[in-house]
Structures are given as C-alpha cells and as structure tokens.
Amino acid sequence: MQDIPPPPQSRLFGRPLFADPDARALSRVGVVDVGSNSVRLVVFDGAARSPAYFYNEKVMCALGAGLAETGMLNPQGRIRALGALRRFQHLARGMGLAELSTVATAAVREATDGPAFCAQVERETGLKINVIDGQEEARLSAQGVLLGWPGAYGLVCDIGGASMELAEIAGGHVGRCATSPLGPLKLQQLPGGQAARAQVIERTMADLAQTMGPQRDRMFLVGGSWRAIARIDMHRRGYPMPVLHEYRMSPSAVVETLAYIARTDLMALRKACGVSATRMALVPLAAEILGALVKTFTPKDIALSSYGIREGMLFEQMPQRLRDRDPLIEACRFAELKDARMPGFGKALYAFINPLFKDAPKSRKRLVKAACLLHDVSWRAHPDYRAETCFDNATRANLGGLKHAERVFLGLALLHRYSNSRSGTPFQALYAMIDDQEQRQAEILGKAMRFGAMLWMTKGTERGSLQWQAKTRRLALHLSPDMVPLYGEVAAARFASLAKSLNAQPEVIGLPE
C-alpha cells in the first residue's frame, strides 16, 4: 500500500472533526447484514474516522443452503434468521438507536421466497430489509476497504456464502464492479463433484477477467472464508501477530497454504486455528475459488481486510471531509479525548519532540503523531504492567491504515514511554517484525515522550524546546523560565536517557547558574 497522503489542509493532520454536527451524527450507527451464510449486527460507536465496534454479534443461519436445488431459502435458516433479527431489533432499542440500516445480499435476492421473507421480517420486527444487487454489494464492500485504507488501490474480492463480488479501487474511489455465483455454499450444492466445480470456476473466472480487465496491483480479501484461510496461513507460517486486518500474503504463500489445506486433516486445522466447524466445512471450497482467483488476476500481493460491506455502509453515511481524514490519526485523537488525563496534551507533546523527527518521511511522522496522542490513554493500567499493556493495545487494537510492522513500531514506542527496557516481556517474537534500526527509532520516540511527559504545563504557558543536530550528535534542551521548576531530578535522568539512545551529548540551556 502506498503511504496515505496528507489531508488537503495546510497542516499535516488538520483539525479534529468530533465537534462537527455531521460527524457527531455518526456517534452511534447500527447496521445489519443478512448474508447467505450469516446474519450479523454491528453497532459502530464514536465519530472517529476509524470505526469502533460498540457491539458485534453474528448468527450462522445458512439462509443460502439448498438454494441451488430448491430456489428457496433454507427453512431452518429462515427461522434462525428471523429470531436473530428479532433479537437485534430489541438490542437496538435498548441501545437507543433510532434505526438499523439493514441489507440482504445474494441468498435473499435470488430466492423465490425472498420478498415474502422480507415482508415477514418487517411485519414481525419492524426492520425494513434493503435487498441489494451484486453491483451494489461490490461497491459497499469496496467502500469498507477504503474506510480502513484511504490510499488503497487494487482489486477487492468479497466472498459470501452464495456469491463473490469484485471491485477495483484507486484514488479513494470505487471503479468497475462485478458479481458472480462463486460462493462456497452454492458450489457445495453443485452436482458433479470437484470436476464440475472446476469447470464452473474456470468459466466464471474468464468472464470476471473480461469484465474487470487486468488487475496486477494488490488484492484485498473480504469475507469469513478468506479470513479462515488467512488464519490457516498464519498457523502454517508460525506468524507471531494474530491480527487479521492488514495481514499480507504473497501469491506463492497462498498457493502453499492451499496445498497445505488439501493435505491436512480439517478437524486438526479447525482446532489449531480457532475456526468454527461451520466455517471450516466451507474452507476447501473457498480454497478452490481463491486458487483460481490468484491464477487469473496474478496480484503483486494479497492483503486481508476485516472491513467490508458493514463498514462500507458506515462509510456511506460519512461526510466527504471525514472520509478524507487519516483513520489512524482520527482514531487516536478520539482515544485521547476519551481516555487521556489531559486531552489535548498529545498535540503539545508532538510539537515538543518533533525536532527529533523533522527530516522523517510523512509515513513516520504520522506514527510519531499517533504515539503522542496515545501516550497517556493507558494510564489506568497497573504501573507494573503499563508498558506491556501499551504494547499489547497498539498491536491488537482495531485501527485502520496501519501495517503490521507499523503496529509493532507504535507498540514499542509506547512501551518505551513507560519503560527504559524492552527485554523480558512476552512480546519478543513480535519485535523481530521490524529491524534493529526501526527498534532503535521506536525506543528514541518512546523515551522522547517519556521525557516530554514530565513537562506538563497549563495551556498558554511559554514552553521550552528541543534542538537536535544529527551530524554533531548534539541534543540541546532550551528551558523557558516557566519550565525550569519542572526540570527536576527525574526529568534530568529521563533527558539523559533520551540523549543516550541518540548517542548524543546532552546540553541544557536556561538553568540558573
């Protein structure tokens, strides 16, 4: 993925939009996705650009099971789906939601009794289901990817139980879209076994390739079956970070994992990877589709997106000026506002330590900014475990626009905000995801925040400044008169530790003789 471009404002990160009426209107949004395999309720909370999941519940209903044979929704699936939707509507009322935005995809739109099902749902629950076509499903899924990756470009592949949708994205917009009947549930019902499936998949892929044209950039995988395959890939590789969003695979790694699935006992894989029995039953079929997908479009690399149609529905309701913002920075701002002891100090801290990173690329400065905003949000954790809590939060948090290596860098910086040493923690395997130079830069950032946090002052107070000369290895601290009383013994020790991490000679200017 390319570096996320800065917003159009003159400043690098712009002004927070939480107070904007359009943004505040998104403080809690509920969406329901009635899919061919599952029915899910997601309630997004907070007006941040990166979604926070206030509530998330999924019921495996298999509405599309048997659809190819009968042309109708699975009767047992209808009963389960209706029960789930009745519960979701009750939950929504309890949460104070004015309404739930509800969409149904392939199974409901293709079933002859789909309209009757929608009418029954509205009659018994009050929920109005919007049945969307394949093109709209593809567009919404692609918008979900853009919610997490504003600068993303490539091909979005969203697989459900009864269909697979493709959409191209570039420049923050969705381009060509296509839909196909390549869903694991639908293939499961196809007579003729693997040979018949192979013919259908090959013929459909040829049609999709003609519709979409060459797609040689990144491929974004959306959907539960792809996530299950990614978990298996992590297991096979011994990957140390169990975060699916932004997980990367090379085409060759995918081929190896598909072969691994074919020769491995599915029950053993299910237990080892934490995949449900219902989902694992569809994995071999999804693997056949993914193998053909990679062979047809030959992407340069492959990324998992945990964001899809539901996040695309949230994106649909955002004003454009909120869409244009960096999801990482907006989420960190919201976290600071909600959890920090002194909301707003992160901006002052960033300005104070910025001279250490004045020549850094924008991709690094956004991580520095994010770290400064998050530097105090874990203050309620026990002091003995605060450093580890910071690292764990950063590497596992639901943050968009953040590569796995960037998660580790951010986590290490926040760890060093509270600890001089990173040895002896349970996260050693994760450190190796970035090289020694990156680890050192994270330590410098963490120690700079650790020192800067000693210099809290009231708003409007004249502040001191840092001056860093990399060539001469000189680190100078200029103290204003108001800052001198804050430069005590502990602050001096932390300044010395920062200088040591820079291999610099510290100098303090402004202390009384």
Confidence (pLDDT) at 63: 94
Q: Where are the beta strands (DSSP E) in 132-286?
A: 154-159, 164-170, 173-180, 218-222, 248-249
Nearest Cα to Cα of residue 16 among 44, 50, 45: 50
Domains of the chain, start order: 21-131 (3.30.420.40), 135-310 (3.30.420.150), 330-509 (1.10.3210.10)
- Whether the predicted pLDDT of 7 surpasses 50: no
Measured CA to CA in angstroms, residue 211 lies from 60, 137, 186, 216 at distances of 32, 16, 22, 15
Measured CA to CA in angstroms, residue 106 lies from 69, 334, 411 at distances of 15, 36, 40
Bridge pairing between strands 218-222 and 154-159:
parallel
Confidence (pLDDT) at 338: 87
Orientation angle between helical segments 283-297 and 266-273, nearest 10 degrees: 80
Q: In what order do the strands lie in the sheet with 154-159?
A: 173-180, 164-170, 154-159, 218-222, 301-304, 248-249
What is the pLDDT averaged over residues 414-421?
A: 93
Q: pLDDT digits over 200-212, tens only?
A: 999 999 999 999 9
Nearest Cα to Cα of residue 157 among 180, 173, 186: 180
Q: Is 0.85 surpassed by the pTM of this model?
A: yes
User: How many residues does this entry show for the chain?
Assistant: 513
Q: pLDDT digits over 470-502, tens only?
A: 999 999 999 988 888 889 999 999 999 999 999
Confidence (pLDDT) at 48: 56
- Whether the predicted pLDDT of 17 surpasses 50: no
- Whether the predicted pLDDT of 281 surpasses 60: yes
Chain centroid offset of residue 7 CA: 20
Confidence (pLDDT) at 110: 93
Nearest Cα to Cα of residue 373 among 34, 50, 23, 53: 50
Q: pLDDT digits over 219-232, tens only?
A: 999 999 999 999 99
DSSP string, 73-106: --HHHHHHHHHHHHHHHHHHHHTT-S-EEEEE-H
Q: Count CB neighbours of 85 within 10 A.
A: 26
Average pLDDT, the chain: 90
